[in-house]
Chain A
Amino acid sequence: MRRFSPKLAAAAVLGCAVGLGVGGPASAQERGGILNFVVAGKIPSYDGHQETTFAVIHPLAPLYSLLIRVNPENPQSPTDFVCDLCEGDVPKGEKGGTEFTFKIRQGVKFADGTPLTSADIKATYDKIIFPPEGVPSARKAFFRMVESVEAPDPTTVVFKLKFPSGAFMPAVANPYNWIYSKKDLDTHGYEWHKKNINGSGPFIFVQEQPGSFLEAKRNPNYHHPGQPYLDGYKAIQAPKMAVRLQAIRGDRAAIEFRGFPPKARDDLVAALGDKITVQESDWNCALFATPNQKREPFNDPRIRQALTLPLDRWGGSKYLSEIAIVKTVGGIVFPNHPLAASKQELQQIAGYWPDLKKSQARAKALLEQAGHPGLKFELNNRGVDQPYKVVGTWLIDQWARAGMNVTQRVQPTPPFYATLRKKKDFDVSLDFNCQSVVNPIADITKFLGSAGNNYGSYEDQVLEDTYDQLLRTGDEAGQRKLIRQFEKRALDEMAHMAITLWWYKINPHRSYVKGWKIAPSHYLNQQLDNIWLDKSLM
């Protein structure tokens, strides 16, 4: 008779436990299927480094990898970045926050089989940050703090900064920073990527029918094990919102990543019930009323304060959010960010006071003092319903309650931009700031008179100096303090621009689409590697 051995028994039990548990927690994801989605724009070129439209991100981002990205499992967090091509945790920075060393994954390959090394990452970021003369790079200004990018060995990339900056890491996580092969850049030049694709993303390009759709298939060598779950996807171009809505209703497409207005969501839910899932989020976009300070009387801060004071932002948030893609009341920083003003802090700023009647009375008094009671002017607006025309109409109503007489000049997009940017022949214009990664220190440059996308025609050295300090402040507490000063000056004391409401993203989609989590921007979390299709719901 064999003796019973406790050790052997324990080992057997342990072995069973390990055997059962070796796959980790039971995974609900199913593999397979083609995701059809609609995109509201046309692809201009394939080069993400020089384009700015989401019509490039939605169909093409899944074909490329990034060095770091927003966490696909937690895209709502503005500070949760994870490694994509790098390994381990995102580095915190050494040498007082002026040096960041990334260890690069091994075994990653581009679609053409070329191994990916740190040289490719260096070549990519050199193209983005230090492009040769004549080579466009839409976001090089985000990297002003970078001194150099080095690749001391095939698995290490080092970014050296001129000064520590809280804007650096969000800039690196920008969804347009697709990693290109150095070999392609050296062999084919800097124009090649406009018409060609060779990425290391979860999917591989199959074909594009320009104006119609783009198709891709799973990359079997993707560096995140087990992903992607989809066999492929088809990005169908559909400029009209009604078509995109009908496509989801008729199951010609499962999802649209930009967003729909509230009524569209309600119609889909009414038609399809639980076959539709709705995800909603604050959106990293805001509309401003920008006075032209080269025109009288908008060069008078009292007049500009009178424009922001009577806007019922708290009330407007409730009723405008029922008809438009706007909702949240916020200051200059994206509302959910740690650097954003709290409600109490906001209520100290002109235009955010809780007492609306007091605000309206103050606005009227300022107009009187400035010699312009019943001020009459024209608002330049963009001929797009959501949310421009809705918010523009609301603004006119709000100003009327303070005795102002305002008309609207609504123009199609190209002449609207010509008025705003080139000719600058407007009194007050609706203006906007839409960003991808929530990067407050970069995003608030909009308020600087020296910024290329500031159309108020003013100079404010106090703001410039405050910003310069902010750019060089590495700790969050110091950044928060400086941002409050910046905000007070920009929105209250000088009232350079009046923020209306932050946008609100509404994404109704077919319930069988799983894994995708809404981000605060339609540019983020678009690599589709964690999306899967629940066939039981199809």
Chain B
Amino acid sequence: MYKYILKRLLLAIPTLFGAAVLVFLLLRMVPGDVCEVRLAGSGLYADPAEIELCREQLGLNEPMLAQFWAFISGYFTWDLGNSMWTGKPITYEIGLRFQLSLQVAIMATLVAIAIAIPLGIISAVKQDTWIDYVVRAFSIAGIAIPSFWLGIMIILGLLISTQYFFGDPWMPPIDYVSPFEDPWRNMSQLIWPAVATGYRYSAVATRMTRSALLEVLREDYVRTARSKGLMERVIINRHALKNALLPVVTIIAIEFAFLIGGLVVTEQVFNLNGLGKLFVEAVDAQDFNLTQQLVMLVVLIFVLTNLVVDIFYAWLDPRIRYS
């Protein structure tokens, strides 16, 4: 197993290098740069000499290879460089937003699990009844409805309904406070995007739970358990569910990885100062350094998540052994 883990980690290196080359080149193919956007973007007079000075200071006039080397060599010294827009260290910019994105990802995952597992079980056990149809409709709606649209509807719904019932419209806070500082305010801001995202997330997991459980419930050992007289609840909880959850764990883990940095539009809708919003701002501003590092972070998270899931799979299912 350790050999397997080491091999996977070593294989991650060419994956990351390939991603680095791709993002570096693609960004520079788009016309424009951060200096133009920063100094001329607001319509005020912009001195061309100032723009050129900005380019010099940010290294944008250096040869491409030199710029690429500066990008890659930072990983050996753990110096990811500075944001071209703010001048602040990228580790600082990312670190600041990572907490919020991680919290939303965890909350959305918990919401998803809380919805998906019970509904998936009920739907499988009550297959082809009206309960099953309702759950399936609920999960299809979750897949069809974009989470950012749901987010917009949630906010509008809160504004309109609170004004109707209480006279004054209310919406979630739009500035982040740590849960350790003010847990109530933190929850009142983040529960809504967690629900909006978690619902969509749960829809996929619900359907996977249902189909996986249906398959397991048709296995011989389950028929044996039934013929031995075990209660249905015991059969499901003790025997069937563990095996049915294997693919569900994979789905949940991969979706979790996506939530870190992937909630670009949802974060815009709720004005969350997370990695997704940072991504949009970096791309908008043509901040090459920051965009590159964010892409690499997302690639790294996916690579590591896949590895963790595979290892977890082997731990859950003794039949699986990596050689």
Q: Is the CB of B175 within 8 A of A44?
A: no
Chain B residues with CB under 8 Å of chain A are 30-33, 36-50, 53-54, 57, 85-88, 93, 96-97, 152, 155-156, 158-159, 163, 168-171, 173-176, 268-271, 273, 277-278, 280-281, 284-286
Min CB distance A52 to B, Å, is: 4
The distance in angstroms between the C-alpha atoms of A432 and B46, with both chains bound, is 12
B45 to A, closest residue via Cβ:
A453
The residues of A that contact B170 with a CB separation of less than 8 Å are: 250-251
The residues of A that contact B273 with a CB separation of less than 8 Å are: 209, 211-212, 237
Q: 19 interchain pairs (CB within 8 A)?
A: A52-B39, A52-B42, A209-B176, A211-B278, A237-B273, A240-B269, A243-B271, A247-B174, A249-B169, A250-B158, A250-B170, A271-B169, A412-B284, A413-B32, A413-B37, A414-B286, A423-B31, A445-B45, A453-B45
The distance in angstroms between the C-alpha atoms of A138 and B152, with both chains bound, is 39
**A414: which of B32, B46, B88, B173 is its contact (CB, 8 Å)?**
B32
Q: Mark A95-126, 1 if CB is under 8 A from B, else 0.
A: 00000000000000000000000000000000
B158 to A, closest residue via Cβ:
A250
Q: Is the CB of A54 within 8 A of B37?
A: no
Q: Is the CB of A210 within 8 A of B86?
A: yes
Q: Is the CB of A242 within 8 A of B152?
A: yes
Min CB distance A146 to B, Å, is: 16
Interface pick from A152-160, A433-441, A469-477, A529-537? A433-441
Q: Mark A139-160, 1 if CB is under 8 A from B, else 0.
A: 1111000000000000000000
Q: Is the CB of A433 within 8 A of B43?
A: yes
B163 to A, closest residue via Cβ:
A271
Q: Is the CB of B86 within 8 A of A44?
A: yes
The residues of A that contact B47 with a CB separation of less than 8 Å are: 138, 140-141, 452
A243 with B46: in contact, given A211-B277, A251-B169 (CB under 8 Å)?
no
Other A-B contacts than A140-B47, A209-B175, A239-B281, 14 sampled, CB-CB below 8 A, are: A42-B85, A44-B86, A44-B87, A211-B96, A211-B281, A240-B268, A240-B271, A250-B159, A285-B43, A417-B40, A417-B41, A434-B43, A435-B45, A446-B45
- Interface bin, chain A: 35 or more
B268 to A, closest residue via Cβ:
A240
The distance in angstroms between the C-alpha atoms of A423 and B36, with both chains bound, is 13
A251 with B168: in contact, given A52-B44, A138-B46, A239-B268 (CB under 8 Å)?
yes
A238 to B, closest residue via Cβ:
B271
A137 with B50: in contact, given A240-B268, A432-B43 (CB under 8 Å)?
yes
**A236: which of B30, B175, B281 is its contact (CB, 8 Å)?**
B175
A285 to B, closest residue via Cβ:
B43
Min CB distance B52 to A, Å, is: 10
**B97: which of A134, A211, A417, A433 is its contact (CB, 8 Å)?**
A211
Min CB distance A93 to B, Å, is: 24
The residues of B that contact A413 with a CB separation of less than 8 Å are: 32, 37, 41, 284
The residues of A that contact B50 with a CB separation of less than 8 Å are: 50, 136-138
> 9 closest pairs, A vs B, by CB?
A414-B32, A250-B171, A434-B43, A418-B31, A418-B32, A212-B273, A415-B31, A211-B273, A452-B48
A209 with B33: in contact, given A240-B268, A434-B42 (CB under 8 Å)?
no
**A213: which of B40, B87, B175 is its contact (CB, 8 Å)?**
B175
Most A CB contacts (10 A, CB to CB) among B42, B46, B281 go to B42
Q: Is the CB of B176 within 8 A of A136?
A: no
The residues of A that contact B30 with a CB separation of less than 8 Å are: 414-415
The residues of A that contact B176 with a CB separation of less than 8 Å are: 209, 212
A129 at the interface (CB under 8 A from B): no
The residues of B that contact A414 with a CB separation of less than 8 Å are: 30-33, 36-37, 284, 286
A358 at the interface (CB under 8 A from B): no
B97 to A, closest residue via Cβ:
A211
The residues of A that contact B37 with a CB separation of less than 8 Å are: 413-414, 417
Min CB distance B51 to A, Å, is: 8
The residues of A that contact B36 with a CB separation of less than 8 Å are: 414, 417-418, 421-422
Q: Mark A388-424, 1 if CB is under 8 A from B, else 0.
A: 0000000000000000000000001111111101110
Q: Is the CB of B269 within 8 A of A212?
A: no
Q: Is the CB of B159 within 8 A of A43?
A: no
Q: Is the CB of B87 within 8 A of A194?
A: yes
The residues of B that contact A436 with a CB separation of less than 8 Å are: 44
Most B CB contacts (10 A, CB to CB) among A211, A237, A243 go to A211
A54 with B45: in contact, given A210-B86, A211-B96, A423-B31 (CB under 8 Å)?
no
The residues of A that contact B158 with a CB separation of less than 8 Å are: 250
Q: Is the CB of B42 within 8 A of A238?
A: no
Min CB distance A503 to B, Å, is: 10
Min CB distance B34 to A, Å, is: 8
B36 to A, closest residue via Cβ:
A417
**A210: which of B93, B155, B268, B269 is its contact (CB, 8 Å)?**
B93
The distance in angstroms between the C-alpha atoms of A417 and B34, with both chains bound, is 11
Min CB distance A379 to B, Å, is: 17
The distance in angstroms between the C-alpha atoms of A31 and B145, with both chains bound, is 48
Q: Is the CB of B44 within 8 A of A434?
A: yes
Q: Is the CB of A415 within 8 A of B42?
A: no
The distance in angstroms between the C-alpha atoms of A271 and B85, with both chains bound, is 37
A495 at the interface (CB under 8 A from B): no
List CB contacts (< 8 Å) of A247-273 with chain B.
247, 249-253, 271-272
The distance in angstroms between the C-alpha atoms of A434 and B96, with both chains bound, is 34
The distance in angstroms between the C-alpha atoms of A136 and B277, with both chains bound, is 29
The distance in angstroms between the C-alpha atoms of A239 and B277, with both chains bound, is 9
The residues of A that contact B44 with a CB separation of less than 8 Å are: 52, 138, 434-436
B281 to A, closest residue via Cβ:
A42
**B46: which of A252, A419, A452 is its contact (CB, 8 Å)?**
A452
Most A CB contacts (10 A, CB to CB) among B86, B268, B277 go to B86
Q: Is the CB of A52 within 8 A of B38?
A: yes
A138 with B39: in contact, given A42-B85, A43-B86, A417-B32 (CB under 8 Å)?
yes
Min CB distance A49 to B, Å, is: 11
The distance in angstroms between the C-alpha atoms of A145 and B121, with both chains bound, is 79
Q: Is the CB of B174 within 8 A of A253?
A: yes
Min CB distance A383 to B, Å, is: 11
The distance in angstroms between the C-alpha atoms of A446 and B31, with both chains bound, is 24
Q: Is the CB of A210 within 8 A of B88?
A: yes
A195 at the interface (CB under 8 A from B): yes
A45 at the interface (CB under 8 A from B): yes
Q: Is the CB of B175 within 8 A of A415?
A: no
The distance in angstroms between the C-alpha atoms of A239 and B47, with both chains bound, is 26
The distance in angstroms between the C-alpha atoms of A92 and B31, with both chains bound, is 47
Q: Is the CB of A422 within 8 A of B163?
A: no
A136 with B32: in contact, given A234-B175, A251-B169, A271-B163 (CB under 8 Å)?
no
Min CB distance B75 to A, Å, is: 23
Min CB distance A411 to B, Å, is: 8
